[in-house]
Amino acid sequence: MVLQTAEAPCSCMEASENSQSFLKAYRWMLLARLVEEKIASLYRGGKIFGGVFVSKGQEALSVAIGSSLRKGDIFAPLIRDQAGRLAFGEPLLDCLRTYLGSRLGPMRGRDGNVHRGRPKEGMLPMISHLGAMIPAVAGCLMARRFRGIEGTVGATCIGDGGTSTGAFHEAMNLAAVERLPLVMVVANNQYAYSTPNSRQFVCRDLVDKAAGYGIEGHSVDATDLGACLKTLGQAVDRARAGHGPQLVIGSLLRLAGHGEHDDAHYVDPALKESALGRDCLKVAEQHILSSKWAAESTLLDWNEEAQKQIDDAVALTIREPLPDPNQEDWCALATRHLSEG
Amino acid sequence: MITYLEAIREAQAKALADDPRVYIYGQDVGQFGGAFKATKNLAQEFPGRVLDAPISEDAIIGSAIGAAIEGMRPIIEMQFADFSTVGFNQIVNHAATMNWRTQLPCPITIRLPSGGTAGGGPFHSQSMEALYAHYPGLIVMTPATVEDAYSMLLEAVAIDDPVIFCEHKYLYYHLKAESLPTEAMPTGKARVARAGRDATIVTYSAMVHESLAAAEELAGEGWEIEVIDLRSIKPLDTDTVLASVARTGRLLAVGEAFPWGGVTAEILARVASEGYDLLDAPPRRLNAKDTPVPYHPNLWGTHRPTARTISAEMRELLRR
């Protein structure tokens, strides 16, 4: 696959910066892909309670938003954002500890898999109800405004199916009314679980929704890491510069089931063969090689490094204590004396 | 004289004045001062901190959760308690689970103008407290007096957990006090609103006043009825209820909400399991009827418990 860029020729320094950010993002994608493969393998081995949801095919879009944000920003990832989480700064251990139920993880066994976060550090832990995280990010941004903190951007992710929710609509409209620096990333991966887009919406293109909210919209080929980095970077910059909410629609195909329990037999073979069905990780690798930004042996080294990082993290996590019902305090309130226990 | 509604307004003014983290967000709460005027002049007195919201209950509450994560203390006004169902998901699944999941408290106050008024009809009259009390992670306040409306709202804002503040619309204008309180009972403690020795009525919110009127009527017949005002239904002060039943031996629980499950059922369950031996007669409960809340006053006046129906129910209990 050859990537064509429509950009004007840039200076060598810019090219170097582009290659550095591309390579950095690629390595997060690789780590995300490999850790999810490890988790899927642990799942098949019966080592994981609950579901496993992988991002295969969505890493480029996800890593682009995660790496376009900076420290102090707000990020509410959704289920297929392992790459974005890593790029935003979530430790790899958070992922494994949550999937494996370690008591030392951020959710301490009280919540699992993708429902993890570090809200004190600006990374919100998702709830399952689609669209629910969007107003929460909006509220974080309202709080920053109340507190006189300038320059924050908030971003959150959803899929094509999530755009059908009332919560999505309410939150996008609210963010537009408040003109908040919110970047809404939609991974249009063609299926919501098994439901194809033809049963989800009939608008010509999801990006048209931006006009309905009076906000700026962007479309990107989400199998193309370079395009994702550019588009998400621009969207984040526009939001930070005071141009209000930004809607980014990334087109791609989910290259796995909804979860590891799902064989995705319902996916149209024609879609798999189409440009949407390209694997963004492979596309990125080919771009690196054809641009001579790194040698094949270097890519292999990076793969090994990532694999070792994952193996070390798994080895550490599986020795960690599990949640103990006898040590659990079973108190939902922060105001403990008001708990009914 | 100060009304229950004015007390709510004054509490919000004090919260805004005392704590820069407080802001108010809801439909029509800004320049207009709110559908019931509970935020009258607050937008003018506290510029930029009392904001009109679009008609988006889910997003309003979702945004409050985000703001709380970032250190604010939002006060959310639902225009009517009934409309909180549109924000139900954010309340019970997001706000209520936040502290337990993440150890980061979610201090939001959600004001629900609750309960029936003549002409309110099915969608402007509901009592939602039992729904919210069902969920772990929420505190549910049901003030019945001007003093509690003021002091409990201030406490709600100070509490680190999400608080559902059920303020009764019928009491907004009907209830008056000489002045605002300078001290208050803590949340979680019920109040003996009227002392008695023959039977106990346990109730909350507007039904406290219907129950007090029933107790007064029954006093004319020689009965001394004790009335307990729960003040908050979660936490529910079981100790005060049991102590009263220990004195009287008879229990009637009264609530304005629908009859299936709910606060009155919870009270009977607790007394039956923890204080069965204290009872001299089977405990009784009185609620609204098991239909939507009717619009016409002729129907509405019969749908919910009143002093007359409470007295009748109590006479049955006293006969046993």
Work out the minimum CA distance from B108 to partner chain A, whole angstroms: 12
For chain B, the DSSP string reads -EEHHHHHHHHHHHHHHH-TTEEEEETT-STT--TTSTTTTHHHHSTTSEEE--S-HHHHHHHHHHHHHTT-EEEEE-SSGGGGGGGHHIIIIIIHHHHHHHS-----EEEEEES--TT--TTS----HHHHHTSTT-EEE---SHHHHHHHHHHHHHSSS-EEEEEEHHHHHH-EESS--SS-PPTT--EEEE--SSEEEEE-TTHHHHHHHHHHHHHTTT--EEEEE-SEEES--HHHHHHHHHHHS-EEEE-SS-SSSHHHHHHHHHHHHHSGGG-SS--EEE---SSPPPSSHHHHHHHS--HHHHHHHHHHHHH-
Q: Does A333 touch chain B (CB under 8 A)?
A: yes
Asked if the structure places residue A36 within a domain, the reply is: yes
**Is A329 inside a domain boundary?**
no
Place of tokens 């307004």: B9
DSSP strand pairing (B191-194 vs B225-229): antiparallel
| ipTM for this model | 0.96
Which residues of chain B have a CB within 8 Å of the CB of A171? 56, 58-59, 62-63
**Per-residue pLDDT, A49:** 87
- Residue B280 near residue B199, CB atoms below 8 Å: no
Q: pLDDT class for B311, splitting at 50, 70, 90?
A: very high
What secondary structure letter does DSSP report for A199? Answer: G
Task: Report the candidate in B183, B208, B175 with the shortest Cα–Cα distance to residue B1.
Answer: B175
Determine the distance from the C-alpha atom of residue B193 to the mean position of all C-alpha atoms in its chain, rounded to a whole number.
16
Token pair belonging to B197 = 């020795």
Coil, strand or helix at A132:
coil
Token digits for B155? 């406490």
Say what the pLDDT of residue A1 is: 32
The β-bridge partners of B199 are: B225
A115 and B65 within 8 Å at the Cβ level: the answer is: no
Is residue A180 within 8 angstroms of chain B, CB to CB? no
Rounded Cα gap, residues A5 and A316, in angstroms? 43
A182 min Cα distance to partner chain B (Å): 12
Closest residue to B161, CB basis, from A134, A173, A333:
A333
For B191-319, CATH number?
Answer: 3.40.50.920
Per the CB < 8 Å rule, is A174 touching B23? no
Choice among B124, B168, B209, B303 that is catalytic? B124
- Are B160 and A335 in contact (CB < 8 Å)? yes
Instruction: Output the CA angle B103-B104-B108, nearest 5 degrees.
Output: 130
3-state secondary structure of A160: coil
Q: What is the mean pLDDT of chain B?
A: 98
What span, in angstroms and rounded, lies between the C-alpha atoms of A183 and A192? 21
Which of these, A123, A114, A97, lies nearest to A106 by C-alpha position? A97
Residue A5 lies in a domain: no
Going residue by residue through chain A, which has 341 residues, state the pLDDT in tens, using 9 for 90 and above: 333 334 444 556 666 778 999 999 999 999 999 999 999 999 999 999 899 999 999 999 999 999 999 999 999 999 999 999 999 999 999 999 999 999 999 999 999 999 999 999 999 999 999 999 999 999 999 999 999 999 999 999 999 999 999 999 999 999 999 999 999 999 999 999 999 999 999 999 999 999 999 999 999 999 999 999 999 999 999 999 999 999 999 999 999 999 999 999 999 999 999 999 999 999 999 999 999 999 999 999 999 999 999 999 999 999 999 999 999 999 999 999 999 86
CB contact under 8 A, A167 and B58: yes
A·B CB contacts under 8 A:
149
Helix (H, G, I), strand (E, B), or coil: what is residue A24?
helix
Average pLDDT over residues B202-229: 98
Summarize the confidence of residues B196-222 as an average pLDDT. 98
pLDDT of residue B10 exceeding 80: yes
Please count the structural domains in chain A.
1
Q: Which A residues, 216 through 255, put their C-beta within 8 Å of a C-beta on chain B?
A: none
Q: Which fold has domain B2-177?
A: Rossmann fold (3.40.50)
Which of B46, B58, B88 would you mutate first to test chain A, the one with the most A CBs within 10 A? B58
- The single residue listed with the structure tokens 């963004």 is A280
CB-based contact, B269 to chain A, within 8 Å = no
**Neighbour count for residue B214 (Cβ, 10 Å):** 30
Distance in angstroms (rounded) separating the CA atoms of residues B131 and B133: 6
Structure confidence by residue, pLDDT tens digits, B44-102:
999 999 999 999 999 999 999 999 999 999 999 999 999 999 999 999 999 999 999 99
Cα–Cα distance for residue pair B170/B142, rounded to 1 Å: 13
- Concerning whether B296 is annotated as a catalytic residue, the answer is no
Tell me A148's DSSP state: T
Q: For residue A253, give how far its alpha carbon lies from the nearest alpha carbon of chain B (Å).
A: 29
Q: What is the CATH number of the domain that holds A278?
A: 3.40.50.970
Handedness of CA B294, B295, B296, B301 (dihedral sign): positive
* Euclidean distance between CA atoms A330 and B144, whole angstroms: 31
Region(s) of chain B under CATH 3.40.50.920: 191-319
Nearest Cα neighbor of A168 from B74, B95, B62 is B62
**Biggest CA pair distance of chain B:** 60
Nearest to B39 by CA among B91, B68, B75: B75
Its domain, for residue A253, covers 13-321
- Please tell me the predicted confidence (pLDDT) of residue B223: 98
pLDDT of residue A5: 39
Chain B interface includes A340 (CB < 8 A): yes
Do the chains contact at A170 and B54, CB–CB below 8 Å? yes
Dihedral over alpha carbons B156, B158, B163, B168 (to 10 degrees) = 10
Cβ proximity of B175 and B3 under 8 Å: yes
* E strands present in A66-137: 74-76
Q: Looking at the complex, does the CB of residue A136 fall below 8 Å from at least one CB of chain B?
A: yes
Q: How far is B267 from chain A (nearest CA, A)?
A: 14
Contact B161/A at CB under 8 A: yes
Please report the residues numbered 143 through 172 in chain A whose beta carbons come closer than 8 angstroms to any beta carbon of chain B.
Answer: 143-144, 146-147, 166-167, 170-171
